[in-house]
Amino acid sequence: MPSKRIGVYSGTFNPVHVGHVAFALQALEVGELDEVYFLPERRPRGKEGVEHFAHRIAMLKQALKPHPKLHVLEFDDVSFSVQRTLPKLQKLWPEAQLTFLVGSDVVEQMAQWPHVTQLFQSSELIVGMRSRQTVADTKRMISTWSNAPLVTLINSHAPDVSSSKVREALQTRTSAKGMLKSVSRYSNHHWLYVSLA
């Protein structure tokens, strides 16, 4: 039996919002995880104008302070990859069962990830349902995977909260659904997101 069950939540978190934190807390309970580690990507693939890594880390740390089982993990990897990142995680927790937290929008591309079979063979998945996908469609996609891992679907408490809407509100100094007060304070103090087009 694994000594621990560790959740890993990789993403951009630009910025972190209520939906991210709520999903991690749900995953802790439903997946019987000991801890969840947020793993922000330095330069996410296919995303332009992402706020500086140091600012995203700082906002994450403030957002997770009230939750003792949620942590931030910093790697040198530019973005998450099975080939580079998974071995580092396995080295950190050699006896643990790793469980990756992903949104249902990510499931659509997972089968095309390089070396994804390696991830499926060694890990479990917890999928948070977003408003754009249905449970039936997500299950159908997962059923097409070869060597699919153990997958748990969660109906997110905040499925329609998005970082893009939070960024727009931060730019205009207004409020948005799912915006964290700590993120708003930090963003205002450091003049983040003001140059959004």
Q: What b/e sequence results for 65-76 when a residue is b if at least 16 CB atoms lie within 10 Å of its CB, and e otherwise?
A: eeeeebbbbebe
So what's the pLDDT on residue 32? 97
* Alpha-carbon gap, residue 33 to 74, rounded angstroms: 20
Contact between residue 44 and residue 12 where contact means Cβ atoms under 8 Å apart:
yes
pLDDT of residue 195: 73
Residues of the chain falling short of pLDDT 50: 197
The Cα 176–Cα 170 span in angstroms is 8
Residues 132-135: contacts with CB within 8 Å, 24+ apart? 132/104, 132/105, 133/104, 133/105, 133/107, 133/108
- pLDDT value at residue 16: 98
Annotated domain spans of the chain? 5-160
Q: Does domain 5-160 have CATH number 3.40.50.620?
A: yes
Per-residue model confidence (pLDDT) at position 194: 85
- The answer, yes or no, to whether the previous bond of 15 is cis (omega within 30 of 0) is yes
Residue 196: per-residue pLDDT = 55
SS3 state at 98: strand
0.75 exceeded by the pTM?
yes
